[in-house]
């Protein structure tokens, strides 16, 4: 993490003008172009001198001096500097000279590593867009570098994601969540090692291409969430490290804690949440994605390492109250921008305070990833032994583990973390020898059905809708040929998503707050639950799950109401897979019977590993 060298490319010569510099009258931190030149402002409280060098002065070593301001900031207006020019800061302290990239650079040139003066002039057109409510949202998590496919090994781009927006629209998802799009070192990455937090990854296409993606997604009825990383930066190729030359005990300097609090699993680069300028840096970054890029919200990575020193699950972990305050400030300001702006935490501790209102002492997130859903779900479905499958464990996934709004949790069977780090795609865990086997198809489809019918905000990970196998690797593109090979499974996902969003108007209960697991048969491995919003026809929705390879010719259930219950989804349909049995399921008649107490009973056929969804007209 040394200071970065100067890199230059051939530029058109311009005669430098050595006029006496003066502070910039323009607000804002970073390099901001105006008609009379570019305003440069940077925070370097321990610097003795700061200058800006770049293509606008032919990388003259002297550069243009910035003038000291209050609070450790330095600024200058450079008339010669314009949009597209490359630049860096030259910082002097205690006899050392550091060449640093602007901490707020919006664009980094991939060939030279220089900051590039960027002007926000993107044409959003006549955008009329409203972010979907959480109870109607279905999230699709994707990694830009692998989602678009690789030609000759090249990293995927925003443009290739745009090309596949019609595919996502047809699938039915209405929210995409991009794994971090910020600049990272090297050619490939998951994105969770940001080295320039304000810059969009150039190999993906840079800031304008991200804006283009968001605009086109909105035109296709799809919201965009961006993954952000505030628990650490880097740690590699990190110009923020000892930015102005000051540090304590060899630690990171002004942007980081300089004691034991700096330590994270990813390096000693935890931001100093107690320092006003660092808090402002993080808050401004969060608001940039919403205000400038028109993103619909943020997913915040590993929040437990923002609020606690070693995460929530470590016995030596201690609270970082200033980290909690940063979360509150960011979330409160996101809501001030728009009450529909979404903020989602990855904390994995089922901490109700994360989704409590800021005014009530909570962190102010709208929802949080729920590990208490995915882990029991996968544990029930992965193993080969039906006798070991516990419907009770599945209930612990279906019923939210914390009180309140059920959509304050995001539920999933696959995510980037759950299909890597020693774990694989669900189909590969179910059948490592043949991930496309009928059993892998059936049980992975059951998992999708549970995700899309349980209370919570459902999320799927790129490719699971066409049985992508193995583990997630940022060097390997999605195998899009499987989307054609397993188009039936993809159709099943589309049908499930349509029911979850109530697109046919027949399953409103799946968007509602209420759930009742009304049937559990441990010996027979059958589970059934009821979802509803207000109740009644086209609202009350019943889901029946057979967790065994043993079929039931006539399985009797006590249903919520008498009359005809129509099958809205049958996972055994041969249209989803030629390997399925095509059980004849259309209508179940529920009759009221006097059996000591009033009961409405009905029966249906349950194929092996069945997933059946019912509602009334």
For 271-322, how does the pLDDT look when each residue is reduced to its tens digit (9 = 90+)? 999 999 999 999 999 999 999 999 999 999 999 999 999 987 666 779 999 9
What is the per-residue burial (b if ≥16 Cβ within 10 Å, else e) of 113-149?
bbbbbbeeebeeeeeebebbebbbbbbbbbbbbbbbe
The catalytic residue among 346, 382, 414, 469 is: 346
- The confidence score (pLDDT) of residue 344 equals 98
Q: How far is CA 219 from CA 167, 222, 223, 338, in A?
A: 14, 7, 9, 19
Q: Report CA dihedral (248, 250, 254, 257) to the nearest 10 degrees.
A: -80
- The confidence score (pLDDT) of residue 600 equals 78
- The confidence score (pLDDT) of residue 148 equals 85
Structure tokens at 459: 């999320």
- The confidence score (pLDDT) of residue 5 equals 43
481: helix, coil or strand? helix
Query: Distance from CA of residue 119 to its chain's centroid?
Result: 27
346 is catalytic: yes
- The confidence score (pLDDT) of residue 432 equals 96
Sorted by sequence, the CB contacts under 8 Å of residue 287 that are 6+ apart come out as: 333, 334, 337
579 is catalytic: no
Q: Report CA dihedral (248, 252, 256, 257) to the nearest 10 degrees.
A: -40
Rg (CA), the chain: 27
544: helix, coil or strand? strand
Q: How far apart are CA 69 and CA 76, in angstroms?
A: 10
- The confidence score (pLDDT) of residue 490 equals 98
Q: Which domains, and CATH codes, for the chain?
A: 30-116 (2.60.40.10), 508-615 (2.60.40.1180)
Phi, psi of 281 (to 5 degrees): -60, -45
pLDDT (tens digit, 9 = 90+) per residue, 66-114?
999 999 999 999 999 999 999 999 999 999 999 999 999 999 999 999 9
Sorted by sequence, the CB contacts under 8 Å of residue 510 that are 6+ apart come out as: 452, 453, 499, 500, 501, 502, 531, 541
DSSP state of 29: S
Structure tokens at 129: 């867009």
Structure tokens at 380: 């029930």
Determine how many CB atoms are found less than 10 A away from the CB of residue 584. 9
What sign results for the dihedral spanned by CA atoms 171, 177, 183, 184?
Answer: negative
Determine how many CB atoms are found less than 10 A away from the CB of residue 534. 10
Sorted by sequence, the CB contacts under 8 Å of residue 128 that are 6+ apart come out as: none
- The confidence score (pLDDT) of residue 368 equals 97
59: helix, coil or strand? coil
The catalytic residue among 209, 244, 301, 572 is: 301
The answer to whether the beta carbons of residues 269 and 234 sit under 8 Å apart is yes
> How many Cα atoms are found within 13 Å in the side-chain-facing hemisphere of 142?
27
Determine how many CB atoms are found less than 10 A away from the CB of residue 404. 12
- The confidence score (pLDDT) of residue 9 equals 42
Phi, psi of 105 (to 5 degrees): -60, 130
Q: How far apart are CA 89 and CA 78, in angstroms?
A: 13
pTM for the model stands at: 0.94
pLDDT average per 10 residues of sequence, the chain (617 residues): 44 44 77 95 98 96 94 96 97 96 96 96 88 97 90 85 98 98 91 95 96 97 98 94 96 97 96 98 98 97 95 79 98 94 94 94 97 96 94 94 90 97 96 97 98 98 98 94 97 99 98 97 96 97 97 91 93 95 79 65 91 96
Q: How far apart are CA 382 and CA 431, in angstroms?
A: 8
Q: How far apart are CA 163 and CA 161, in angstroms?
A: 5
In terms of Cβ atoms closer than 10 Å to its own Cβ (0-12, 13-18, 19+), residue 205 is buried
611-615 sheet: strands from edge to edge: 514-521, 526-532, 541-546, 611-615, 563-570, 587-594, 598-606, 552-558
């Amino acid at each position: 993490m040394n200071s970065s060298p100067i890199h230059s490319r051939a530029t058109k010569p311009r005669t430098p003008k050595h006029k006496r510099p003066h502070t910039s009258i323009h607000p804002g931190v970073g390099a901001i172009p105006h008609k009379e030149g570019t305003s440069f402002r940077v925070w370097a409280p321990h610097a003795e001198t700061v200058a800006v060098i770049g293509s606008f002065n032919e990388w003259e070593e002297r550069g243009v001096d910035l003038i000291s301001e209050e609070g450790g900031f330095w600024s200058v207006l450079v008339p010669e500097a314009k949009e597209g020019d490359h630049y860096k800061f030259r910082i002097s302290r205690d006899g050392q000279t550091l060449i640093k990239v602007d901490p707020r650079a919006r664009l980094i040139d991939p060939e030279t590593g220089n900051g590039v003066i960027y002007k926000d002039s993107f044409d959003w057109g006549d955008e009329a867009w409203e972010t979907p409510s959480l109870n109607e949202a279905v999230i699709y998590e994707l990694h830009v570098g692998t989602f678009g496919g690789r030609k000759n090994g090249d990293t995927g781009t925003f443009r290739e994601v745009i090309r596949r927006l019609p595919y996502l629209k047809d699938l039915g998802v209405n929210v995409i969540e991009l794994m971090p799009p910020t600049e990272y070192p090297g050619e490939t990455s998951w994105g969770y090692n940001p080295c320039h937090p304000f810059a969009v990854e150039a190999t993906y296409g840079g800031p304008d291409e991200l804006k283009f993606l968001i605009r086109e997604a909105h035109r296709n009825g799809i919201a965009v969430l961006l993954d952000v990383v505030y628990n650490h930066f880097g740690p590699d190729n990190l110009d923020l490290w000892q930015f102005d030359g000051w540090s304590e005990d060899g630690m990171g300097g002004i942007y980081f804690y300089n004691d034991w609090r700096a330590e994270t699993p990813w390096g000693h680069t935890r931001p100093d949440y107690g320092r006003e300028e660092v808090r402002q840096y993080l808050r401004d970054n969060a608001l940039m994605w919403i205000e400038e890029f028109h993103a619909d919200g943020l997913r915040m990575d590993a929040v437990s390492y923002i609020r606690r020193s070693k995460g929530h699950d470590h016995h030596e972990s201690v609270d970082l109250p200033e980290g909690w305050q940063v979360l509150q400030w960011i979330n409160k300001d996101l809501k001030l921008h728009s009450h529909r702006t979404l903020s989602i935490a990855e904390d994995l501790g089922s901490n109700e305070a994360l989704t409590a209102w800021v005014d009530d002492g909570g962190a102010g997130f709208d929802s949080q990833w729920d590990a208490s859903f995915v882990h029991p779900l996968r544990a029930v479905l992965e193993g080969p032994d039906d006798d070991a499958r516990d419907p009770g464990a599945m209930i612990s996934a279906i019923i939210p583990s914390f009180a309140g709004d059920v959509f304050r949790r995001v539920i999933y069977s696959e995510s980037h973390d759950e299909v890597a780090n020693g774990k694989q795609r669900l189909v590969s865990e179910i059948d490592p020898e043949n991930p496309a086997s009928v059993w892998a198809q059936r049980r992975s489809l059951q998992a999708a059905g549970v995700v899309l019918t349980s209370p919570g905000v459902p999320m799927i990970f790129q490719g699971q809708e066409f049985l992508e196998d193995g583990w997630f690797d940022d060097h390997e593109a999605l195998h899009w040929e499987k989307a054609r090979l397993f188009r039936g499974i993809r159709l099943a996902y589309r049908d499930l998503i349509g029911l979850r969003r109530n697109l046919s108007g027949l399953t409103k209960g799946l968007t509602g707050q209420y759930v009742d697991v009304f049937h559990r048969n441990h010996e027979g491995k059958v589970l059934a639950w009821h979802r509803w919003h207000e109740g009644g026809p086209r609202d009350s929705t019943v889901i029946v799950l057979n967790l065994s390879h043993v079929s039931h010719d006539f399985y009797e259930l006590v249903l919520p109401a008498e009359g005809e219950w129509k099958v809205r989804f049958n996972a055994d349909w041969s249209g989803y897979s030629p390997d399925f049995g095509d059980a004849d399921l259309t209508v179940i008649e529920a009759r009221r019977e006097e059996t000591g107490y009033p009961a409405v009973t009905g029966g249906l056929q349950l194929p092996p590993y069945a997933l059946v969804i019912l509602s009334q007209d």
